[in-house]
Amino acid sequence: MPDRVHEALARLAVVEPVLCAFHEVFRTFPEVDPASPFAGMPIAVKRGERRSHREALTAMGCVPIGLTTTPDGSTPWQTWGRNSRGVTRNPWNLDRTPGGSSAGSAVAVASGVVPLATGVDGAGSIRVPAAWCGVFGLKTTSAERAAVGVFTRDPALLATYLGVTEVSSPTAVWSADLGFAEVDDEQAEIARRAAAPLRPSPVPLALRDPADDWFAGRCGPNPELDAVFGTADLLLTPTTPGPPHGHDGPGSRINTALTWAFNLSGHPAISIPAGFDSEGLPVGLQAVARHGREADLVAAAVLTSSAVEVAPWPP
């Protein structure tokens, strides 16, 4: 067993009884090519994830240590994970949800168990838990509503995962609400400050609320977004309209208000740690890029991360 895997399992043993992030912990591990990009690096894998994604990471030298929690169908909003020991808890406040549906993967990274975890983003299912757990959460370009991606605390791992070798200086625009969402002032201000290294200019964007298209299953081009990306490399927003809610559910707020439009349009997007609110809870900055331009998201992560603390949950 590689030393890093042993360390990950030791950390998991400490935090798992409290956080409930894993559905299953593996007992056997694949052999590792020492010349591979991620040689011996432990990762967590979202339960129900596409096998091809997991196999691709294993081929890069990653060592899966277990399957993370997802919603179990017992909650109407399905915004958190659960295992036999209880609900998956946010490392920054145990009374709050980590978000979902990739709840366990976000918690596994935020709590320092693994440096990388996989996820599937269906409506913000990577970006929302990444924002609420204070880690990076990447959704890749996809022609379908659901896209694979990863969580990490290190932008350099995003670059390796994507094969990005050079960081650009992308141009950016800022919208606090995409023209329709109801966003808490504190969330918007913290995200806007975190975006400062990218020097975004405000854009008078007025998207139509994507709720109707989402529930009707309508995906495809978005003329308003095409216009934005005709003049800028990145569109920046808060990741979520508000902070993580309690385990009793979100109430009437739509937590995916700022994320699901980009599942319908297929654009790649990332949630970047933006800092902490007045309650000490993490806030996310969302960056959205042109199709196939995940490299610009890596650049956004690198350029903003130096100004924002990204720390694991304390022991």
Residue 34: which CATH number? Answer: 3.90.1300.10
Domain boundary among the residues 162, 194, 219 is at 162
Domain boundary among the residues 129, 162, 195 is at 162
> Which domain does 176 fall in, by range?
172-305
Q: Is residue 313 part of a domain?
A: no
In single-letter form, the type of residue at position 258 comes to: L
Which residues have C-beta within 8 Å of that of residue 88, sequence separation ≥ 6? 19, 20, 21, 69, 80, 81, 82, 97, 98, 103, 104, 107
Active site residue 175: no
Active site residue 111: no
281-304: burial string, b at 16+ Cβ within 10 Å, e else: bbbbbbbbbbeebbbbbbbbbbbb
Same-domain pairing of 184 and 291: yes
Measured between alpha carbons, how far is 86 from 112 in angstroms, rounded to an integer?
Answer: 20
Q: Is residue 311 part of a domain?
A: no
Same-domain pairing of 279 and 224: yes
Same-domain pairing of 140 and 213: no
Same-domain pairing of 144 and 216: no
Output phi, psi for 245, to 5 deg: -90, 175
Structure tokens at 60: 């890069």
Query: Is the overall model pTM greater than 0.85, yes or no?
Result: yes
User: In 3D, which of 290, 218, 250, 255 has the Cα closest to residue 125?
Assistant: 255
Identified catalytic residue from 102, 105, 111, 125: 125
Active site residue 252: no
Same-domain pairing of 231 and 100: no
Number of domains observed in the structure of the chain: 2
Output the pLDDT for position 314. 67
Output the pLDDT for position 39. 96
Identified catalytic residue from 46, 102, 271, 305: 46
Same-domain pairing of 125 and 191: no
Same-domain pairing of 115 and 258: no
Same-domain pairing of 103 and 31: yes
Q: Per-residue pLDDT for the chain (315 aa), expressed as one digit of tens each?
A: 679 999 999 999 999 999 999 999 999 999 999 999 999 999 999 998 989 999 999 999 999 999 999 987 766 655 678 888 889 999 999 999 999 899 999 999 999 999 999 999 999 999 999 999 999 999 999 999 999 999 999 999 999 999 999 888 999 999 999 999 999 999 999 999 999 999 999 999 999 999 999 988 899 999 999 999 999 999 999 999 999 999 988 888 899 999 999 999 999 999 999 999 999 999 999 999 999 999 999 999 999 986 666 566 766
Output the pLDDT for position 50. 87
Q: Is residue 25 part of a domain?
A: yes
Q: Is residue 29 part of a domain?
A: yes
Which residues have C-beta within 8 Å of that of residue 214, sequence separation ≥ 6? 123, 260, 263, 264
Same-domain pairing of 144 and 205: no
Same-domain pairing of 8 and 86: yes
Domain boundary among the residues 162, 186, 208 is at 162
Q: Is residue 236 part of a domain?
A: yes
Identified catalytic residue from 101, 105, 175, 271: 101
Output the pLDDT for position 186. 98
Output the pLDDT for position 248. 86
Q: Is residue 312 part of a domain?
A: no
Same-domain pairing of 118 and 224: no
Same-domain pairing of 85 and 178: no
